[in-house]
């Protein structure tokens, strides 16, 4: 039981990070039906912003977290306006190829400026490096903060989507953009806001990963980004609660595989889950089959 609880804490920490990234995927897809493959690289930029704030500006963890969220918000809006908005009425494949191109552009632009070598986050304060035991289960302070920050951000997102005017606009645009436009909703502004929120969450995840694993590099967004995409598909892409469930399921599966001594197969297991869910229930766990009129 102690081992189970220990792995549960580990999976919650990892799952929280995947859930934050997956939320960006699912929000963007839900509103404009685009798989934003550059989203994982926004998460990478957030990790580097947090690193720069802590190393060069000597800011604390929470200040660096906020700074990364702000920078990634701006980056997300720029990506939408420059790369995706001109192609909004184009074919799906054109937008998808553009997303892959933006992803590569961000990766190698970052590599040009910071180099390809991994960077280690600076030494963390005591409240981040300590740990405590509960009934034989060792819980690191980092894990508590990661889970806590993720939960707070998810609650804030749910409040924005369900209780605010912009959240109502997001839901309206996701259901019928033309009808929303006729009702006086600015579709362009709503889509930009969606990118901003999703990118801010990815930036926060980047800082949390940097603190947790203490290593970042310009290509760090590829695999976690794909795993977060798997999480979004698992839960039902376009459905916010589904992204949360998918993130924790993928984090739990990866932790379980590693805990039984098959860490080399943890990535393969995640993508096997993707194949399985596409075969059994292509719309995802919470998704529903929707008939398209011809």
Question: What tens digit of pLDDT does each residue of 274-289 get?
Answer: 899 889 888 888 876 6
Assess if residue 265 is contained within a domain: no
Assess if residue 13 is contained within a domain: no
Q: Are 197 and 160 in contact (CB under 8 A)?
A: yes
CA of residue 265 relative to chain centroid, distance: 22
| Single pTM value for the model | 0.90
Assess if residue 233 is contained within a domain: no
pLDDT in tens, 94-142: 888 999 999 999 999 999 999 989 999 888 777 777 778 877 788 888 8
Closest alpha carbon to 263 in 17, 7, 40? 7
- Among 38-52, 71-85, 90-104, 114-128, which is the least confidently predicted range? 114-128
Q: What are the backbone dihedrals phi and psi of residue 134, each rounded to the nearest 5 degrees, phi first?
A: -130, 105
Q: How many domains does the chain contain in total?
A: 1
Assess if residue 75 is contained within a domain: yes
pLDDT in tens, 150-172: 999 999 998 998 899 999 999 99
Assess if residue 274 is contained within a domain: no
Assess if residue 279 is contained within a domain: no
pLDDT in tens, 236-287: 888 888 889 999 999 999 988 888 888 888 888 998 988 998 898 888 888 7
Assess if residue 41 is contained within a domain: yes
């Amino acid at each position: 039981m102690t081992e189970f609880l220990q792995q549960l804490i580990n999976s919650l920490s990892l799952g929280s990070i995947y859930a934050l990234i997956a939320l960006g995927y699912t929000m963007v897809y839900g509103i404009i039906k685009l798989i934003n493959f550059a989203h994982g690289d926004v998460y990478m930029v957030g990790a580097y912003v947090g690193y720069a704030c802590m190393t060069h500006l000597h800011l604390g963890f929470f200040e660096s977290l906020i700074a990364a969220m702000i920078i990634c918000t701006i980056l997300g809006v720029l990506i939408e306006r420059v790369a995706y908005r001109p192609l909004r009425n184009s074919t799906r494949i054109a937008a998808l190829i553009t997303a892959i191109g933006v992803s590569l552009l961000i990766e190698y632009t970052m590599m040009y400026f910071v180099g390809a070598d991994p960077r280690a986050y600076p030494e963390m304060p005591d409240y981040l490096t300590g740990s405590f035991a509960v009934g034989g289960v060792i819980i690191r302070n980092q894990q508590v903060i990661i889970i806590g920050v993720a939960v707070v951000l998810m609650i804030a997102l749910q409040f924005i989507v369900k209780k605010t005017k912009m959240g109502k606009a997001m839901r309206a645009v996701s259901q019928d953009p033309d009808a929303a436009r006729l009702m006086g909703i600015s579709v362009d502004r709503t889509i930009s806001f969606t990118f901003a929120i999703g990118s801010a969450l990815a930036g926060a995840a980047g800082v949390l990963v940097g603190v947790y694993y203490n290593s970042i590099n310009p290509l760090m967004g590829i695999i976690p980004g794909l795993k977060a995409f798997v999480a979004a598909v698992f839960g039902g892409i376009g459905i916010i609660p589904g992204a949360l469930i998918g993130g924790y399921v993928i984090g739990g599966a990866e932790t379980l595989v590693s805990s039984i001594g098959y860490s080399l197969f943890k990535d393969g297991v995640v993508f096997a889950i993707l194949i399985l869910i596409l075969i059994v229930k292509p719309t995802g766990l919470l998704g529903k089959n929707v008939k398209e009129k011809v």
